[in-house]
A and B are shown apart, each in its own frame.
Chain A
C-alpha cells in the first residue's frame, strides 16, 4: 500500500467551503444548473473529513467536465468519455485517494458508455456524479443518449429516432452497488445525496437532474415547479413506504403481480405497501424504471449494498504474494529456472 500522505497525519483544522473554491473563473452560462451543483459539492467537501490534498476530481469532456478546474483539490480534465477508466487506473495506483468522476449524459453514457459499464461492474471505489441535462451543451445543442424519443434538436430537425437510455437502469444493469438520484434545484437533498454517495465503499453512482437553460431549458420541469413537483416526486427513504403526493391526494406505489402500480394511498392496505429497501437489487431495478408521466420520479437512494472493491482485491493479492514469498527481487528472478554457464 502507498504510505499515507503527510497531510493526513496532521490534525487538520475544519475546512470550509471556501477552501474548496479554486481561483479559476467559472465559465458556465449564467443560470446553468452546474453552478448549484458546484456550490453543493464545495459545501459538502468539508464533511468528508478528508484533507483536501487527498481528494481528486476527474472529468472527461463536456460542460460538466469543466468541474475539476473550479475545485481547489487535485484535478484532471481528461478526454471525452474516458474519466472512469482514468479514475480506475488512479485508484489502482493510489487506493488511498478519494476520487470523484464528474461526467454528463453524453460523456458518461454515449462516448464513455463502455467505461461506465466496466467501472460499475468492477466496483472501483470512486464517486460518479452524472449531470443529466438530456442534451449536448458544449457542442451547442444536439440530442443526447438520454434525450426523449422524437426530440427535435439541431441534429434531429424531424425528431430523434433514438430511444433514450435510463441512467439508473443502466447502472443497476451493470451491477452498481450504490445508485441514487437527486435534482440540481433541491440543494438540501443534493447535499445529502452527495454525502451518501461519497461515503459509499465502491462505486457510488449519483444521477443529478441538471438544467441546461440554454439548450434544453426546463427538461426536468415537473421536478422543478412547486405545483408539479409535489405530484411527481417520489422521495425514497429506507424502511418507509413508497408514498407521494400532497396530503390531500396521497398516493402509493404498490406491486400488482409483477407490475408497479400507482393507487390512492387510502385504498392501499398496509400489508400491500411497498416498503423501500435499499439493500434489494431487484426492487431497485423496478424503481429505476418508474418515470413521468405514468409514474412518479424516484429521488434518493435506490440501492446501497456492499461488494468486493476492485482495487482492494488487487491490493490484497499483491500483499498476499509479498507475504507468501517476499518482495520481488529481479536479480533472483533473472537467474531462476533454466540457466547455463559459459566459461
Chain B
C-alpha cells in the first residue's frame, strides 16, 4: 500500500493526468521522469493528457491480488491516448468480457484505485471505461 506521502506527491499525475513534456525533443513522459530517455534532457513543461483513447492491448486477470478481489475479472489495458501517449490502466464498467477488443474506444474516468483497509486512506486516480 502506498504511503500518505508518496500518494500525495503523485497527486498531479494521478488526479489531473499531468505529464512531463521534454523541452529538448518534445517527448511526453507519463508518469513524469527526471531525465528524458530519448535525448537525456532534464527540462520539462507540464502538459495535461487527453482523456480519450483506444485499447492497444489488454489482459484479463481472473484471480486479482489482495485488495482487488471484489473486482474479478480484473482488466488491465495499454491505452493509447489521443496525443499518442500510452499508459497502462485498469478498465472498468465493461458490460461483458466479449466486448473487450483491441481498438476499443475508451475514456479515462476519475475512480478509486485502492484503499488502505477500512480505516486507511483512499487512493484515487484514473481508469479507462468504454467510451
A binds B: no
